[in-house]
Amino acid sequence: MEKHYSDSQVKGVSTGTTILAAIFDGGVVIGSDSRASIGGEYVSSKTINKVIQVHDKIFCCIAGSLADAQAVTKAAKSHLSFHSVQMESPPLVIAAASVLKELCYKNKEELQAGFITAGWDRKKGPQVYVVSLGGMLISQPVTIGGSGSTFIYGYVDAKYKPKMTKEECLQFATNALALAMGRDNVSGGVVHLVVIMKKGVEHVVVPGDKLPRFHDE
Amino acid sequence: MALSTVLETPGAGFNFDNAARNAALEGLFEGGQTPKPLKTGTTIAGVVFKDGVVLGADTRATSSEVVADKMCAKIHYISPNIYCCGAGTAADTEKTTDLLSSNLTIFSLNSGRNPRVVMAVNILQDMLYRYHGQIGANLILGGVDCTGNHLYTVGPYGDVDKVPYLAMGSGDLAALGILEDGFKHDLELEKAKELVRAAIHAGIMSDLGSGNNIDICVITRQGVDYIRPYQESVYKDDRKMKYKYRPGTTAVLTEKVVPLKLEVVQETVQKMETA
């Protein structure tokens, strides 16, 4: 089969994707779908991991070119590990986001990858940062990214409330991702969610058949 | 640690020099495109089973429409416990796997252990990413180490995925159909070999770029069984390959003998010491 990147701007495997992160009362939920595609027409992996741990309580969601994103997060992981050894304490979430931002900004001509960083640290508690394609870094209480995010801006704007409980936030995240996966052809598979709180980290995987279904499905 | 394991120490951070150089070279050619390297057109597959990993490949190497090699080896040795199937540009897969194998041998000699599959994957990923897709190597890495049985895919841009079963090459879709249907976790050895064989066979039947024989490589904790060929093509070649003719096949019409007179001009003797 001829694999060609006709519509997609990304060469090679792309995580046309839906990623999301949201702060709740006492922690943060970060999640993504699990589909990797080539050229917007071939699903090269149904189970790709897009929620990558860069430190004990800091996770990153990747979007864009899979190769670029994996290379950047690898470099970031190593940098953060060294940083935390030097500082003799776990890195701040903003430090992790800044490492990603530096790499994205300095190499913006060649890279095609965007990130959502979420985590918990002692100084500011739960935080979410967005590092976009060109290297912009901003902090937001809730954020969505990837090609599938365009379909759920309305849902997120309407349904997100600050200071939700963990269960409410998990349900909100699952619903948002399910809605996006239902409309975006390059998002799909399973929903990977990670809950980060002061006491620790919890992984939740929602398989495709257990996703919430909406009225027309 | 990095210095002792790799022959070439990569520079810090990302280095896109080669990608920039290639882009500049493309500008030199009229029409814009550098000559395209030739691809093998291939079906390769891998499956993780109960006791290890089974890798399979066809054995056809094509050069446009001509079959250049009917018994090409696509399953490359990386280390005693890791083998790698390569699809894409034949030269690139050969050289990349060779380089990886050398690096891991040095590592083994220095550390006294067999390398882990994830180490091989990381070295490959770093190298392919640095070349930004210019190295056309689509690899399936399979191996067994102290942490278990692993199968990874590495793309030419440096993207990596860890999977329980996999097919790559031009015949991958046909092979993937068989794998999707027949794969189960913890298969027995014979079932796993049969699944991979069927997958490669499907690739051979449905893809023009794949064909001839099927090679299978089974890697377990006990060792490696590289069966080459596992199954031979039904379309066996009947060419004799010997074209010597018996004297007298061509009739001799006339014969003329001219003796060449040679005279000795100079004679020297040099004793050879063989003690």
**How does pLDDT run across B66-92, given as a tens digit for each residue?**
888 888 899 999 999 999 999 988 888
Enter the ipTM.
Answer: 0.75
The rounded percent of chain B whose pLDDT value lies above 70 is 89
Q: Write the pLDDT tens digit of every residue in B10-28.
A: 565 666 777 777 777 777 7
Among all residues of chain B, which has the CA nearest to that of A47?
Answer: B163
| Catalytic residue IDs of B | 42
Does residue B248 have a pLDDT over 50?
Answer: yes
Please tell me the distance from the alpha carbon of residue A179 to that of residue A175, in angstroms, as a whole number: 6
pLDDT of B238 above 50? yes
Distance CA A56, CA A138 (A): 22
Which residues of B have a CB under 8 Å from any CB of A? 13-14, 16, 19, 122, 125-126, 128-129, 132-133, 155-161, 163, 170, 172-173
Average pLDDT, stretch A179-206? Answer: 94
Contact of A135 with chain B, judged by CB distance below 8 Å, is answered with no
Share of chain B above pLDDT 90, in %: 57
pLDDT in tens, A60-80: 999 999 999 999 999 999 999
Verify whether residue A117 is a known catalytic residue: no
**Confidence tier at B133 by pLDDT (50, 70, 90):** confident
Look at B172 and A13 and tell me if their CB atoms are within 8 Å: no
Could you tell me the pTM of the whole model? Answer: 0.77
Compare CB distances from B173 to A1, A48, A71 and report the shortest one's residue: A1
Q: What's residue B35's pLDDT?
A: 54
Check CB contact of A45 with chain B, cutoff 8 Å. yes
Confidence bin at B33 (pLDDT 50/70/90):
low
Smallest Cβ–Cβ distance between B159 and the set A1, A70, A107 belongs to: A70
Worst-scoring range by mean pLDDT, A31-40, B62-71, B88-97? B62-71
